[in-house]
Structure 1
């Protein structure tokens, strides 16, 4: 540590109100048998714990990279303590204990895409980009961005939500709902009896699909009005059954004339996910939300769907600008992306740089596997910010001649990782390191400054306490308001060079010996003169 500041320590790791806080420049800290940081004098490091910022206005925020943390911690009883970083007591200062740092997983919050969409693609041609993302539990998932050409220089984008997610929502720069989708994932059952019900309600129409191994017909339903269908499951694998459900549901919705015309793109209301035993339900209405639930069991009574069938899920309505069809003109609504003549993005979701300065849009995911929902406002697991490039710049998506080409695909987030160590920055932030490559700030080391450091009272073990002559300590973050910087993995060097000091000592000793010899010689000469005089 450089400068004239001091570390704050205490003789007791878990300080009580009566325990004395001391100050030291002895920065050789080691981990004791209980996981606390302890210096050579036996005192324990004290500081400010850091947690993710949750919007508490009274909390002191600490920005670290793209994330924001706050000085706070949670007691064993669940109470949250907001730290006052001007006070030195056992509430606002805590010890750092490395044994309390467990494993971690980091959810994906950013997705950056750069690709060329061929300019010679015919209308209705499409391209797909698959990306790996992580939920808050560290589970990996695949999400798909689809791009469909709807006119010259015009493309429409949508998402295909991952397995084990119930609802996926694509929002514009202004948080409008551009695309919304629901999904049911079902276990693979190749043989055996399958019974149950899939229920939907869209635009006021209730649709119930009954799965019956004894049904005479493949699919029967009545429309319009409430639609009830019976699907024969005899001899069908789960993938075959899901294909049949999708086909039947699409027919029922079209016959019910719920939205005036069968929507395109993507061309169907319900569709089985290619290569997976799941069905997606695409929202097309800007007036009515769509709810769905399912209760499917096999012969042994095993529940086959991931989603909670009792509660169900709701797919939100689309913004009025982004409904698939304008019923008055029977035409598509606002496009997703338009390109200018030089192949760079001109608008995203109908807005340019003058109306929406940030080109990034958002993807929200509601999970059915117990992970934190990726939604706006959730500090633990916020929505995914998707960057497709800047306006009028070829740094993301482009539409140029040639083939489709993915130039880059970047996303953050990480799978579960175990704690592997710590690092300390010059700003005093202690970051936990995990074997999945994630680093997470967990602690901040404060530095104490005094008006008159020479007035401190010394204790054993290179410890000091404040006195009336030193003045009261002021806590500061490293590098701020005159406080020094912290140098990790380095001890304060001595200002004395032993070689130089020994040389000076020998030189002085020999000079003294020479001077003493001169005096002795002078005394002998004086004695001889006195003897001659006599």
Structure 2
């Protein structure tokens, strides 16, 4: 009966507009939710077969929910270095727990990048979802896989321990006085043994006192500070541009040189050109002429040094090689002086900040200026992200409609770049939602009028019998 079909059409209108109202309500409620994607209920007509010629049977309407997951929200600056936003396509990969994550634990996908460090050191967002990333290897690289989620772990930025950077490079800028008087002790000087400059540093009552000493600070493998001295004694020879030189440890007991001169690491001559610049090709301080200016200390041993020189057994240190840049040591007619000394290396440091760059590399910043790479955030992309299934926490699960995901490095292969210290805003437009709210209300009222009118017509039909 046509009146009955009209009733059903009116009911379908009420149901469809109720769904539209629910979607609008959800949008308005989440206007300030980070990276929230608005939903919309679209309407499609329902057509029924016309069984009786000359009579029309109403079909009604059905509501079809549409997600705008792929719509980009406005990227806004944030005051936290762990807040992240994706500029472009893709999703952060997250899990419901940090520690003990297994292959059977479900992973989710979200663009809500309001991450912070929890009590256990994990990066977790406001919905308590843990950020996943590829852990850094010892050499600073990552085992990147486009589909294997098990290669990713919850990123932890606290359980890293302290950071130490042993000294590897030292650059010295200094001048040796070309017109200085040759010391009276120079005649008895020997490069090794009791008359060496290293012997004088160990016991000032013996040895040969140097004309000039440059002290260098060295950070060892345990983060301790050691002192190495570079001593110079003007050579009373036919070559006025030549100096005796030694490098030794202060105190001498820090190193073991296999029974040689206590603390001595190197000895030889330093030669200068006539213009006052150093002649490294003729310098013998590091062995033969032209040898690279480098100090090598073998690791400490438990049964005495197997190599010389080495760190002392009591120090218990790893081997260390230090490259010396002596190119700015000069010999001019001016007072011997140190102009500048620069070296790398850093003692024990603790984490003071966490930073993430545009490529998704998470780094820990230490108070000794060291930077340690922790992990790299992967970006998951889908062929049809609008087909994802929403779950609580402003996250999504994969579906057949969304297609197979691919994990990419940020900014590579169509994946969006990561914007550190930023958050993506909700895509809800309040003016559009309020307009839709008015339209939905009117449409709902109109559908209710259909039911009222059909009821009145049925009442008239019943009254015919009277």
The question of a shared fold, defined as TM-score above 0.5 by the shorter chain, is answered with yes
Would the aligned equivalents of 2:211 and 2:234 in 1 still touch at CA under 8 Å?
A: yes
More helix by share: 2
Would the aligned equivalents of 2:168 and 2:323 in 1 still touch at CA under 8 Å?
A: yes
Q: CA deviation at 1:44?
A: 0.7
Q: CA deviation at 1:404?
A: 1.4
Query: Aligned partners of 1:149, 1:473: CA distance in 2, in Å?
Result: 72
Question: Any gaps of 5 or more consecutive residues in structure 2?
Answer: 1-85, 187-209, 299-309, 440-466
Determine whether 1:477 maps to 2:409: yes
Match for 1:8 among 84, 90, 93? Answer: 93
Would the aligned equivalents of 2:121 and 2:158 in 1 still touch at CA under 8 Å?
A: yes
Counterpart of 1:36 in structure 2 is 122
CA RMSD of aligned residues (A): 3.6
Would the aligned equivalents of 1:148 and 1:157 in 2 still touch at CA under 8 Å?
A: yes
Match for 2:224 among 139, 142, 160? Answer: 139
Match for 1:340 among 257, 273, 279? Answer: 273
Match for 2:311 among 367, 392, 402? Answer: 367
- By relative contact order (CA 8 Å, sep 6+), the higher-ranking structure is 2
Q: CA deviation at 1:428?
A: 2.0
Determine whether 1:412 maps to 2:344: yes
Counterpart of 1:47 in structure 2 is 133
SS at match of 2:420: coil
Would the aligned equivalents of 2:247 and 2:264 in 1 still touch at CA under 8 Å?
A: no
Counterpart of 1:93 in structure 2 is 152
User: What is the count of residue pairs matched by the alignment?
Assistant: 306
Query: Aligned partners of 1:358, 1:488: CA distance in 2, in Å?
Result: 47
Q: Deviations over 1:349-372 (max 9, x none)?
A: 669xxxx99966344353334543
Would the aligned equivalents of 2:358 and 2:419 in 1 still touch at CA under 8 Å?
A: yes
Match for 1:103 among 162, 166, 185? Answer: 162
TM-score (norm 2): 0.56
Query: Aligned partners of 2:421, 2:378: CA distance in 1, in Å?
Result: 17
TM-score (norm 1): 0.50
Cα 1:282–1:39 change in 2 (3 A) is: closer
Counterpart of 1:24 in structure 2 is 110
Would the aligned equivalents of 1:337 and 1:348 in 2 still touch at CA under 8 Å?
A: no
Q: Deviations over 1:47-101 (max 9, x none)?
A: 1222432xxxxxxxxxxxxxxx233xxxxxxxxxxx35445233x1111223413
Would the aligned equivalents of 1:359 and 1:387 in 2 still touch at CA under 8 Å?
A: no
Q: Deviations over 1:158-183 (max 9, x none)?
A: 3112445334xxxxxxxxxxxxx45x
Counterpart of 1:385 in structure 2 is 323
Match for 1:159 among 247, 265, 277? Answer: 247
Would the aligned equivalents of 1:136 and 1:371 in 2 still touch at CA under 8 Å?
A: no
SS at match of 1:454: helix
- Mapping of 1:96-245 within 5 angstroms? 96-121=155-180, 126-150=211-235, 151-163=239-251, 165-167=254-256, 181-182=257-258
Match for 1:70 among 111, 132, 141? Answer: 141
Would the aligned equivalents of 2:246 and 2:264 in 1 still touch at CA under 8 Å?
A: no
Query: Aligned partners of 1:470, 1:338: CA distance in 2, in Å?
Result: 73
Would the aligned equivalents of 2:297 and 2:311 in 1 still touch at CA under 8 Å?
A: no
Q: Deviations over 1:180-212 (max 9, x none)?
A: x45xxxxxxxxxxxxxxxxx5xxxxxxxxxxxx
Cα 1:160–1:468 change in 2 (3 A) is: same
Question: Any gaps of 5 or more consecutive residues in structure 1?
Answer: 54-68, 72-82, 168-180, 183-199, 201-268, 271-278, 284-323, 325-334, 376-382, 390-395, 510-534
Would the aligned equivalents of 2:135 and 2:376 in 1 still touch at CA under 8 Å?
A: yes
Q: Deviations over 1:317-362 (max 9, x none)?
A: xxxxxxx8xxxxxxxxxx65443333233434669xxxx9996634
Query: Aligned partners of 2:217, 2:382: CA distance in 1, in Å?
Result: 52
Query: Aligned partners of 2:107, 2:216: CA distance in 1, in Å?
Result: 51
Query: Aligned partners of 1:96, 1:87: CA distance in 2, in Å?
Result: 18
Would the aligned equivalents of 1:112 and 1:409 in 2 still touch at CA under 8 Å?
A: yes
